[in-house]
Amino acid sequence: METIQNIYDGARKPKKEIGQFKLDFAYSQDAKEIDSGIKETIRGVKLSIMAMGIALYRVDVSGLFIDLGFKKFGEYIDHLADETGMARTSLYNWEYIGEAYIKHRSDLDKIGFTDSDGATKLPFLSRALEHHPKKEVFKNIKDMSLREFEKWSKEQIKHDKKYKSVKIKGSQLFVGNSPVVSFAEGVSPKDRRYYEGLLFEGALAVKNNEYAKIFRFYDEQEARNFERYYQRELKALRAKK
């Protein structure tokens, strides 16, 4: 009696691509397959910064590092850096590239953006969209060099309205006389103080026509160490101006 094998031979879902690069590993649900694809990309077996960035971002936000035996994404990055010899800062930068691509994929796909257009421009995309018209941004990210696009994305916006004060009253944060954020009931005091601090610094930056950016850290001690280094470097940078 002949055994009939249950093999599917119908239409198959097309492989995801960015330009000429296959992205199967970046969108895989298998943590080990993603991990293997990232390492192959770092070693130059497959050359696609965007594919690797997407994979790193998915390992982070989807918690796939847990499937690989790590408690924190930072531990996975440390392991990856040690195993491949790649700098941790480079790995995090590639994750930012993947994050930017995923968040703006629809618009980037419309203009046919690929690795060859300069994936390292992507971390500056959100900032450019805050400062410039959307149509102009997606034209320039294709046409400009990395240096040109980075500089253009950082151009300061002139604020017509000058705020006189930034303050927190009750459950609201005010800029001038206008409430910009209201906290819902049930937010814990600890969480509220944390979010108030972030919002307050952002509002002060707007008031002073400055630029505020949020950094992520493993823990409070690492944040404090960075703060000391940051203040020292900022003072040195401003002394050169």
50 lies in the same domain as 127: no
The whole domain housing 120 covers 112-155
120 lies in the same domain as 99: no
Residue 161 lies inside a defined structural domain of this protein: no
Dist. CA 108–CA 116, nearest whole Å: 13
Q: What are phi and psi of 130, to 5 degrees?
A: -70, -25
Residue 23 three-state SS: coil
The string of DSSP codes covering 66-95 is HHTT-SSHHHHHHHHHHHH---HHHHHHHH
- Amino acid present at 99: E
Q: What are phi and psi of 17, to 5 degrees?
A: -135, 155
With bands split at pLDDT 50, 70 and 90, how would you rate the model's confidence at 44? Answer: low
> Quick check: 8 pLDDT over 60?
no
Q: Which residues pair with 169 in a beta bridge?
A: 172
Burial class of residue 34 in the structure, from the number of CB atoms within 10 Å of its CB (0-12 exposed, 13-18 middle, 19+ buried): buried
Dist. CA 151–CA 112, nearest whole Å: 23
Domains of the chain: total = 3
Dist. CA 105–CA 228, nearest whole Å: 37
147 lies in the same domain as 170: no
Query: The pTM is what?
Result: 0.52
With bands split at pLDDT 50, 70 and 90, how would you rate the model's confidence at 139? Answer: very high
Q: Which residues pair with 167 in a beta bridge?
A: 174
Residue 3 lies inside a defined structural domain of this protein: no
The predicted-structure confidence for 154-178, as pLDDT tens digits, reads as follows 876 554 455 456 666 666 767 667 7
- Cα–Cα distance list, 234 to 25, 135, 207, 223 (Å): 40, 34, 19, 16
